[in-house]
Every structure is written in structure tokens, then in C-alpha cells.
A = this chain, B = another copy of it.
Amino acid sequence: MKHDDATSLFGLVPGVDVGRVFADRRQLYDAGVHRQLQAGICGTKQHGAQSIVVSGGYEDDEDHGDVIIYTGQGGRDPGTGQQVKDQALTLGNAALVTSLTTGLPVRVVRSLNGHQRKSRPSGYRYDGLFRVEDYWSDSGRSGHLVWRYRLVQLARTESAVVPQPSAPATPAGRTTLTRVESKVQRIVRSTSVADFVKRVHDFTCQVCGLRLPTPTGAYAEAAHVRGLGKPHNGPDVPANVLCLCPNHHTLFDFGMLSIDDDLMVTDVTTGDPLGRLASNEAHEIGREYLAYHRTHHSRGWVHAAKPASGPDVSG
């Protein structure tokens, strides 16, 4: 097991400038930008998605420039392109979830053929690196379950190069200066409202009661139940925020916890109840936000096959 084999397929492609336009999928393939001739997602559940092709014509995608709401693959009629059944969280769809757990960047290619206007350039443009920030299930316009992902263009600081000190002299007597590429795996954001909720609960996790000590107090994270910003557009109000330890925040965001209207918390993997969310009279929790989270974050994947033990390969 060598530690750079799998990850060498991720990130920028040496010698290929961001912004380059390719005439067709074969050229994209040969350049190493998107190593799938048909599928829109290239990658594996084990290591994550290396690249995707965003085709402007797909009804469920939303392209906001530096933020893309991308819809997973599968369940479509090959003839009409219409969604005819639910999408499963397998193959490329699973790969994009793994990208969220690893933080590895995803190359984005935009199809320039979406609008079918003769005056627009045709082909495919390689638009650089994005990170998967969120995923959830939704009812597509067809009514069938689809998987959706928010991809955000990488900022300079999100894939930083950390200078390393000189390595020890090699046997040949040369010293080398190596640089370490670090990627952002997880960003925890907060707001003034989030600070308020954490203080109401004295930085104690509402799921497990843990309070992580620090030398000057305690550390907790605020989880927005219905996410801020596109496409969830949840409000930044105390009723939409929970005070959680980092572990339960991570599980909640991955949809592994479901919270019902009685504030009972369930582990969706096992179905086990984990007890009732700690409450505080100064902090009422909005049931509509819990319902949104159940529908979009902890529903879909329970439908899907249980996580398999081995890797699968996106085709």
C-alpha cells in the first residue's frame, strides 16, 4: 500500500491549463481530465470522485458559477433522458459522498452544448477544482428521488501548500526542500446566532451531553438544521440551530441522525434510539426544520442499499 497511488489521480492535471476547451469526450479522456467516455461522474466509492461533467441542459442541475448544484446519475430512461426511477447511492453518486469525507477536490468540466444554440461555442471546458460541501436527497422534477450535491470552487486557501523544512540529507548527500499540498477536509462555520445557541447550552452536546474542555472553557459546534444559503435557504435563527459536539455534528450533517418532532434522536444506520435531544426553555427548536432535515438528509440513503464492505467502480 503506497500512499500516493490513489490520490495522484485527483486534483489539477499537470500540463493542462484550467479553462482549456476540448472538442469532445474522447479528447477529455485522453488528456486525463475526465477518464470516462459516457458517465458524468468519474471515480469510486472507495476513493471519491475525480471529476464530473456538468451538462447545462440537465433539468435538475443549477449552475451559479462558483457554486454548482449537481444531480447524481442513474434512474433515467436512456432514450428520453427522463427520470423514471429513484437514484441509488452507488457508483458515481457514492463517489461524490466519499469526496465529502476525504476533502479531495473534484475536477469540473462544463459542457458548452447545453443550450443548443449555434452561436455558442461547442465542446467541453475544463473549469478547475471544486469541493463537495454538502449532499442530500430530493424529489426531482419527475417526482423520483435524486441525489444532489453542492460543489464550491476551491479558493486559494483551501488547497494550500505548506512549506516543509529541508529534509535530511539523502545518501547521495543532497538535501531537498519538499512542499506538502494540504486540502481542506471540513470547514466549520459559525454565526452570531450560532454563538448564542452554544452559550445557552453551555457548549454541551444536545445529543450526547459531552462538553469538550479547553483551557479557557469548552468547545462545541453549531449545526444549522436546514442549511444556510442555496439551495436550502434555511434561516439563521436559534430555532434552526443545534449545539453539538464535533462527532455528532459530523453525523448529523451526513444524515446519519434523524430527529423526530418529540426530539427523539435515532441512529439511522442501526435504527437505535439515542435518547431525546437536550432542551432548554431559552431555545425552542423549529419542527419544520427537523422535518426538512429528515426529508432531505436522513431519508434517502436509508432507502438505498446498506453500505457495502468492498469498493465499487463507477462505470
Contact B3 A196 (CB under 8 A): yes
A226-254 Cβ-contact flags toward B at 8 Å (1 or 0)? 00111001011010000001110111001
- A295: min CB distance to chain B, Å: 16
Segment 180-232 of A: residues with Cβ below 8 Å from B: 180-193, 195-196, 199-200, 210, 212-219, 221, 228-230
Judged by a CB distance under 8 angstroms, whether A97 is at the interface is yes
Collect the chain B residues with CB atoms within 8 Å of residue A251's CB: 212-213
Q: Is the CB of B187 within 8 A of A183?
A: no
Minimum C-beta distance from A97 to chain B (A): 4
Complex copy number for this chain:
2
A183–B155 CA distance with the chains assembled, in angstroms: 15
Q: Is the CB of B182 within 8 A of A190?
A: yes
Q: Tell me the chain A residues, 121-157 only, with Cβ under 8 Å from chain B.
A: 155-157
Secondary structure call for the A interface: mixed
Q: Is the CB of B97 within 8 A of A216?
A: yes
Distance (whole angstroms) from the CB of A272 to the closest CB of chain B: 12
Q: Is the beta-carbon distance between B195 and A102 smaller than 8 angstroms? A: yes
The minimal Cβ–Cβ distance linking A12 to chain B, given in whole angstroms, is 14
Q: For residue A195, give the distance in angstroms from its CB to the closest CB of chain B.
A: 6
Q: Are A3 and B246 in contact (CB under 8 A)?
A: no
Segment of A31-39, A74-82, A162-170 in the binding face: A162-170
The docked-state distance in angstroms from the alpha carbon of A247 to that of B160 is: 24
A residues 241-298 near B (Cβ < 8 Å) are 245-247, 249-251, 254-256, 269, 282
Q: Considering only CB atoms, which chain B residue lies closest to A11 in the complex?
A: B192
Q: List 9 A-B contacts (CB under 8 A).
A: A1-B196, A94-B215, A102-B190, A162-B229, A163-B229, A165-B235, A180-B193, A212-B250, A213-B251
**Known pairs A45-B216, A165-B233, A186-B221 / 13 extra A-B pairs, C-beta < 8 Å:** A1-B282, A94-B215, A103-B190, A163-B229, A180-B228, A182-B189, A183-B189, A185-B221, A187-B187, A212-B256, A213-B251, A213-B269, A215-B307
A residues at B contact (CB < 8 Å): 1, 3-4, 6-7, 45-46, 89, 94-95, 97-98, 100-104, 155-158, 160, 162-165, 167, 178, 180-193, 195-196, 199-200, 210, 212-219, 221, 228-230, 233, 235-236, 238, 245-247, 249-251, 254-256, 269, 282, 301, 304, 307
